[in-house]
A and B are shown apart, each in its own frame.
Chain A
Amino acid sequence: MWSRSKRFVSVLVIALLAFGALAVGQVYDRNETLYVSGAAWGPPNDWNPFITWSKANTTGTIGYLYETLFMYDPLNDEFIPFLAESGEWVSDTAYEITIRDGVMWTDGTPLTAEDVAFTMNLGKDYAALWFAPMWNYVINVVAVGDVVRFDFTEEPLYQEFDNNLYNIPIVPKHIWDSKSEADITGGANENPIGSGAYMYETHSSDRNVWLRNDNWWGNDVFGVPAPKRIVDARFSSNSVALGSVIKGDVDLSNNFLPGIATLAEKGYVKTYFEGAPFMQAANTAVLFLNTTKKPMDDAAFRRALAYAINVDDIVRVAYANLVSAASPTGLLPSLAKYDDQAVIDELGWTYDPTEAARILADAGYVDVDGDGYVEAPDGSAIALEVTCPFGWTDWMESIAVISDSAKAVGINIEDVTPDYGSWNTALTNQTFDMTLNNWANMSNTPWTLYNLLFNHPIKEIMGSGNFGAYDNQELFDLVDALAAVPTTDLAGMQAVCSDIQRIMLSEVPMIPLWYNGLWAQYSDSVWTNWPVDGSNDPARLPTTWSGYWQLGGLLTLIELELANP
């Protein structure tokens, strides 16, 4: 018995020693590796660039791996030719893109105009792909030599099309044309072949590892991305993310960390701005009002609410100054040139409880039964709920402020936090009273925000915007008109936007409240030259969020430098 177990132990020891000898090259060199966090919500599940809603979990699938025709730099409002060398409207209904020469897929096959035309045509064949609606106004897409030609109907939606140019990822025809519909629309696409600056290396449930593609075409055009490897870590709680940044284990954290203002002021971490709001603005947090319910169907009530909400308190209390109040139009600072200041001066609002009370009283909302809360003009009691998903701590505190400031002017609104699933269903089925939402990314066009706010036509399920089902045909026509204005026609866009803003600010279908930050805190210990306000380099976005690589996020990586080479 004894000798047998002794023999077993010695075999085990020898085996382990042998394994130990194999262990070369499995540990990443700190000076070659960039550690990031804050993008992934869940374990990596697929590398299929057409399953857009899961791309947060494998951020980089579009950006590192698969690339788009253009990049759009929102801070400098500039389209940067990417896979496309150039693109131009040859007539009002035809667009031609010249594909860059010398681009290779990572399996060694050249990327050609054929691949681009193939990708675009997938949208025609499969209605379940997100860019399928483009084919409502595109007639055909063909490759001629190194040129891809798009032919349009009489009414192209220029705004959406431009948006698609930097959002549709190009896939290799020689691999994807043998895939079935189910594989294209829902395949996991393991071991993907792309054309981008980084290649898939490995993953586990709490990380994605990307390896630099040394044959990337962009090395000669933009420069070589500094980190050889990028490890994208997923943490299951904010306290872990915070600890990792402070320890210097993570170089760039894109998590929302509540106390970061204090840490930045003490020099533990760096942020884009040195003082408030510390972060760049990423999207607008909008309070959607369910206009199918009373009293939210009354514009006067909605307007009173807009005056009643103390946004400064949200900024101060819920965010500790990490955000700034939004323009009443909801447009991000990067799109401020589409704000019509005259309309804002005439119809805009700021926090003013006295004015809110006055509007309420004028519209017939008075406290009849003396409980401290106003009743509707028809005498019925008002008891409303403002919601956000449970666990979204910053929003939970924000709706508490909304509830408090509404009560201060006599509107009875309670803050309620359902689970994400039931919140989401209430959101899309108009069974909420009022709720927060911010689903419009930074964009080249105000149309992206308006497509969220005034999504139409009104249906039973409002799955992708206009959650309060605000119905105004005049406004919808204007949004459609904006979509059809060529993106080069700045004055034309501004004119339509002004009309939209006039309706929006007088009717108050929803209330834009503050700009959610592009949460980013970085450590200088290993990598430096992070984007900061006022540096000599062009402004960049320090983010790993999905959808932001093609907004110039990738260029941030190229500009990084080692602290101690």
Chain B
Amino acid sequence: MRRYFGRKLLIYLVTFFLAVTIDWMIPRFMPGNPVQNMLARASVRPEAAEAMYGYYTKAFGLDVPVWKQYLNFWVALFHGDLGTSVYLFPQPVSKVLRESIPYDIFLLLPAILLSWWAGNKFGAFAARTKRLDNTLLPIGYILTATPYMWLGILLAWAFGVVFDIFPIAGAYSFSMQPHWSWAFVWDVLKHWFLPFASLFLVGFGGWAIGMRNMIIYELEADYSHYMEALGAPRKLVRKYAFRNAILPQVTGLALQLGVIVAGALVTEVVFSYPGIGYLLLAAIQNQDYFLIQGCFLFIITGVLLANFLIDIVYVIVDPRIRRGMVGE
């Protein structure tokens, strides 16, 4: 057991190092110069532009050789310093992330978990139930195949503008300051619902279809036929099929949870919901090295952590892995 996790941990550490290095390199390979872009809109006299360019290049630590920038990056990282954002100068990247990431988690965690749970339940239930298979699953296919942008705008237009039930922008009303009251909590939930619902619907369709197909596959497997031949009740056969079918879904869940901080870009644009997705897009467009690095650092850490958790979960849910470790 210790050897299993020791080896896994080593692999994760090496992966982390390589991924963070690539994360550092890629923005720097993009054509363009972030400081120049930042100052371009200042539209000042050439003399001033030159002085400003030199000054701010130095302020961002971009005046030293590239290898030294790389070393400085790791040193700063171990001090918990992610640098200063260029796009949101002079805000520190860590502050920008701290203010945005809670929104992503608040939106995506319930959406991913609930759609996974409900989708799997429904998919398993619908498989081989002729009427559901013929009616509701096509809807699932349509939902997952819908261009997300379009679904979001449609929801916002219908429920926000036409029926005027839900607000269409922001995480809470523009007429409120955050405070603890029922009115405010209710307001936050109302703003949260449409973005959540759109993410849930699309996720739900995908999980349901996946689960249905997996169950059908498992029901065709030899062990299912053998159990049926032995006269096992239908319910028991399906229970075993479900247990086997859930394994790949668990992996899928881990991958979704890993990219949680950047997973809602389009939602954030369509519903004008604050979060890291939209910032990441702006950071890339503005070649904000530091903000790109910071966002991806979270994504890398998230993916690795989620994978590690799944490794542990697998030990619990999949007896074959347990056996394998004991048998070593």
Name A residues whose Cβ lies closer than 8 Å to a Cβ of B.
16, 19-20, 22-23, 26-28, 30, 33, 35, 42-43, 45-46, 48, 51-54, 127-133, 136, 182, 185-188, 202, 204-207, 209, 231, 233-237, 239-240, 243-244, 246-247, 249, 419-422, 424-425, 427-428, 439-440, 451-452, 455-457, 459, 461, 463-465
Asked if B89 is an interface residue, CB under 8 A from chain A, the answer is yes
Task: Find out whether the CB atom of B37 lies under 8 angstroms from the CB atom of A35.
Answer: no
Task: Find out whether the CB atom of B56 lies under 8 angstroms from the CB atom of A128.
Answer: yes
Partner of A463, one of B53, B90, B183, B274: B53
A127: chain B residues within 8 A (beta carbon): 48, 51-52, 55
> A231-B175, A233-B170 are known contacts; what are 9 more A-B pairs with Cβ within 8 Å?
A27-B175, A27-B177, A46-B91, A51-B89, A51-B90, A53-B39, A236-B269, A243-B160, A427-B40
Task: Find out whether the CB atom of B90 lies under 8 angstroms from the CB atom of A46.
Answer: yes
| A113 vs B176: C-alpha distance when bound (angstroms) | 39
Task: Find out whether the CB atom of A185 lies under 8 angstroms from the CB atom of B55.
Answer: yes
Task: Find out whether the CB atom of A463 lies under 8 angstroms from the CB atom of B88.
Answer: no
Chain B residues 26 to 58 lying within 8 A of chain A, measured CB to CB, are: 30-34, 36-53, 55-56
Name B residues whose Cβ lies closer than 8 Å to a Cβ of A.
30-34, 36-53, 55-56, 59, 85, 87-91, 96, 99-100, 153, 156-157, 160-161, 164, 168-171, 173-185, 268-272, 274, 278-279, 282, 284-287
Q: Can you list the 6 inter-chain pairs with the closest CB atoms, starting with the nearest?
A: A19-B180, A23-B181, A425-B32, A127-B51, A128-B55, A421-B287
Partner of A464, one of B42, B55, B268, B279: B42
Task: Find out whether the CB atom of B170 lies under 8 angstroms from the CB atom of A20.
Answer: no
| A153 vs B94: C-alpha distance when bound (angstroms) | 47
| A130 vs B42: C-alpha distance when bound (angstroms) | 8
B168: chain A residues within 8 A (beta carbon): 240, 243-244, 247
Task: Find out whether the CB atom of B42 lies under 8 angstroms from the CB atom of A205.
Answer: no
A33: chain B residues within 8 A (beta carbon): 175
Partner of A424, one of B36, B50, B85, B89: B36
B41: chain A residues within 8 A (beta carbon): 53, 439
Task: Find out whether the CB atom of B274 lies under 8 angstroms from the CB atom of A205.
Answer: yes
A237/B272 contact (C-beta < 8 A), A45-B89, A244-B169, A455-B46 known? yes
A463: chain B residues within 8 A (beta carbon): 36, 39-40, 46, 49, 53
B282: chain A residues within 8 A (beta carbon): 42
Partner of B174, one of A45, A128, A131, A233: A233
A425: chain B residues within 8 A (beta carbon): 31-33, 36-37
Task: Find out whether the CB atom of A419 lies under 8 angstroms from the CB atom of B285.
Answer: yes
A420: chain B residues within 8 A (beta carbon): 37, 285-286
Task: Find out whether the CB atom of A236 lies under 8 angstroms from the CB atom of B278.
Answer: yes
Task: Find out whether the CB atom of A206 lies under 8 angstroms from the CB atom of B272.
Answer: yes
A240: chain B residues within 8 A (beta carbon): 156, 168-169, 270-272
| A239 vs B265: C-alpha distance when bound (angstroms) | 16
Task: Find out whether the CB atom of B153 lies under 8 angstroms from the CB atom of A239.
Answer: yes
B36: chain A residues within 8 A (beta carbon): 424-425, 428, 461, 463
Partner of A23, one of B33, B88, B157, B183: B183
A20: chain B residues within 8 A (beta carbon): 180-183
**Closest CB of chain A to B118's CB: distance in Å?**
24
| A237 vs B33: C-alpha distance when bound (angstroms) | 26
Partner of A132, one of B48, B53, B88: B48
A246/B161 contact (C-beta < 8 A), A22-B179, A30-B175 known? yes
B32: chain A residues within 8 A (beta carbon): 421-422, 424-425
Task: Find out whether the CB atom of A128 lies under 8 angstroms from the CB atom of B169.
Answer: no
Q: Please indicate which of the listed interface residues B36, B178, B184 has the most CB atoms of chain A within 10 Å of its own CB.
A: B36
Q: Please indicate which of the listed interface residues B180, B183, B185 has the most CB atoms of chain A within 10 Å of its own CB.
A: B180
A45/B160 contact (C-beta < 8 A), A26-B176, A28-B176, A204-B274 known? no
- Identify the closest chain A residue to B278 (Cβ): A236
| A48 vs B42: C-alpha distance when bound (angstroms) | 14
Task: Find out whether the CB atom of A128 lies under 8 angstroms from the CB atom of B52.
Answer: yes
Task: Find out whether the CB atom of B180 lies under 8 angstroms from the CB atom of A23.
Answer: yes
**Closest CB of chain A to B198's CB: distance in Å?**
14
Partner of A35, one of B174, B176, B182, B274: B174
A28: chain B residues within 8 A (beta carbon): 175-176
Q: Please indicate which of the listed interface residues B164, B177, B178 has the most CB atoms of chain A within 10 Å of its own CB.
A: B177
Task: Find out whether the CB atom of B170 lies under 8 angstroms from the CB atom of A186.
Answer: no
A461: chain B residues within 8 A (beta carbon): 36, 53
Task: Find out whether the CB atom of A130 lies under 8 angstroms from the CB atom of B88.
Answer: no
| A253 vs B160: C-alpha distance when bound (angstroms) | 18
| A33 vs B177: C-alpha distance when bound (angstroms) | 13
- Identify the closest chain A residue to B268 (Cβ): A236
**Closest CB of chain A to B229's CB: distance in Å?**
44
A136/B90 contact (C-beta < 8 A), A127-B55, A206-B171, A206-B274 known? no
| A202 vs B178: C-alpha distance when bound (angstroms) | 10
Partner of A205, one of B45, B100, B185: B100
Task: Find out whether the CB atom of B53 lies under 8 angstroms from the CB atom of A27.
Answer: no
**Closest CB of chain A to B178's CB: distance in Å?**
8
Task: Find out whether the CB atom of A464 lies under 8 angstroms from the CB atom of B46.
Answer: yes
| A459 vs B50: C-alpha distance when bound (angstroms) | 10
Task: Find out whether the CB atom of B90 lies under 8 angstroms from the CB atom of A27.
Answer: no
Task: Find out whether the CB atom of B43 lies under 8 angstroms from the CB atom of A465.
Answer: yes
**Closest CB of chain A to B286's CB: distance in Å?**
6
Task: Find out whether the CB atom of A207 lies under 8 angstroms from the CB atom of B170.
Answer: yes
- Identify the closest chain B residue to A201 (Cβ): B177
Partner of A457, one of B39, B46, B272: B46
A52: chain B residues within 8 A (beta carbon): 42, 44
**Closest CB of chain B to A432's CB: distance in Å?**
12
Task: Find out whether the CB atom of A231 lies under 8 angstroms from the CB atom of B174.
Answer: yes
**Closest CB of chain B to A556's CB: distance in Å?**
20
17 residue pairs of the A-B complex, CB under 8 angstroms, read A16-B185, A27-B175, A43-B88, A45-B88, A48-B90, A132-B48, A205-B274, A206-B274, A237-B269, A240-B156, A247-B160, A247-B168, A421-B30, A422-B30, A424-B32, A452-B43, A464-B45
- Identify the closest chain B residue to A15 (Cβ): B180
A53/B48 contact (C-beta < 8 A), A45-B89, A46-B91, A461-B36 known? no
**Closest CB of chain A to B8's CB: distance in Å?**
35
Task: Find out whether the CB atom of B278 lies under 8 angstroms from the CB atom of A45.
Answer: no
| A185 vs B56: C-alpha distance when bound (angstroms) | 9
B181: chain A residues within 8 A (beta carbon): 19-20, 22-23, 26
Task: Find out whether the CB atom of B90 lies under 8 angstroms from the CB atom of A188.
Answer: yes
B43: chain A residues within 8 A (beta carbon): 439-440, 452, 464-465
- Identify the closest chain B residue to A123 (Cβ): B48
A233: chain B residues within 8 A (beta carbon): 169-170, 174
Task: Find out whether the CB atom of B87 lies under 8 angstroms from the CB atom of A42.
Answer: yes
**Closest CB of chain A to B133's CB: distance in Å?**
36
Task: Find out whether the CB atom of A205 lies under 8 angstroms from the CB atom of B99.
Answer: yes
B52: chain A residues within 8 A (beta carbon): 127-128, 130
| A26 vs B90: C-alpha distance when bound (angstroms) | 29
- Identify the closest chain A residue to B173 (Cβ): A27
Task: Find out whether the CB atom of A22 lies under 8 angstroms from the CB atom of B287.
Answer: no
Partner of B177, one of A130, A202, A205, A465: A202
| A249 vs B183: C-alpha distance when bound (angstroms) | 18
| A386 vs B205: C-alpha distance when bound (angstroms) | 43
Task: Find out whether the CB atom of A130 lies under 8 angstroms from the CB atom of B48.
Answer: yes
| A48 vs B90: C-alpha distance when bound (angstroms) | 10
**Closest CB of chain B to A341's CB: distance in Å?**
29
